[in-house]
């Protein structure tokens, strides 16, 4: 797997039926080690260890209802009252983060109405804050610490 623009950590890897697997501490099980999953595990580790996001207020692969269909958000960050604050979408490191990725995460946000949208391919990370009062959004210079999300 490629080196990412995220802190390294001790990953738990195994092999099952010829497939490489990585342990997801949020889902408490091994999952297929895809390039996107490699980014997810590094990014959530970064959020917990560097940005002080409480592990118990984060969820991976969260199913949401969007119109008449179900979709899965890669990661959702919640506040202390379990209201969603941020949606995080991951892409493989070999994929550029383009407008289509933000279009996808914006559609998910139609159901959740979070204040922050974040996208990472492991090499580049983007986060924007949504102001529903003025119907605008602002790209942030960095990923905010958890305590900055609920300001």
Stronger pLDDT, 46 or 28, i.e. the higher one: 46
pLDDT at position 122 over 90: yes
Partners of 129 in beta bridges: 116, 138
Integer Cα distance of 15 and 22 in angstroms:
9
Q: How confident is the model at residue 39 (pLDDT cuts 50, 70, 90)?
A: very high
Stronger pLDDT, 49 or 61, i.e. the higher one: 49
pLDDT at position 37 over 90: yes
Partners of 60 in beta bridges: 75
Mean pLDDT of 44-64: 91
Work out the angle at residue 53's Cα, subtended by the Cα atoms of residues 128 and 36, and round it to the nearest 5 degrees.
65
Per-residue pLDDT at 141? 93
What's 85's DSSP letter? E
The pLDDT tens digits of the residues spanning 69-116 come to 887 888 999 999 999 999 999 999 988 887 777 777 787 787 788 999
The pLDDT tens digits of the residues spanning 4-27 come to 989 988 899 999 999 999 999 888
Residues in the chain, overall count:
151
Structural domains for the chain: 13-148 (3.90.1570.30)
Per-residue pLDDT at 90? 93
Using a cut of 0.85, tell me whether the model's pTM lies above it.
Answer: yes
Sequence-ordered strand ranges (E) for 1-83: 13-16, 19-24, 29-32, 58-66, 69-78
Mean pLDDT of 115-140: 92
Stronger pLDDT, 105 or 51, i.e. the higher one: 51
Rounded mean pLDDT of the chain?
Answer: 89
Integer Cα distance of 39 and 138 in angstroms:
24
């Amino acid at each position: 797997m490629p080196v990412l623009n995220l802190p390294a950590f001790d990953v738990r890897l195994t092999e099952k039926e010829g497939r490489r697997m990585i342990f997801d501490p949020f889902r408490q099980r091994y999952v297929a080690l895809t390039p996107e999953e490699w980014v997810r595990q590094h990014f959530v580790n970064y959020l917990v260890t560097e940005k002080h996001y409480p592990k118990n207020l984060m969820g991976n692969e969260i199913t949401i209802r969007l119109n008449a269909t179900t979709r899965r958000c890669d990661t959702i960050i919640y506040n202390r009252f379990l209201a969603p604050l941020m949606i995080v979408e991951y892409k493989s490191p070999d994929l550029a983060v383009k407008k289509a990725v933000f279009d996808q995460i914006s559609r998910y946000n139609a159901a959740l109405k979070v204040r922050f949208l974040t996208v990472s391919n492991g090499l580049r990370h983007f986060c924007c804050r949504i102001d529903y009062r003025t119907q605008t959004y602002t790209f942030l210079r960095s990923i905010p610490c958890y305590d900055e999300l609920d300001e």
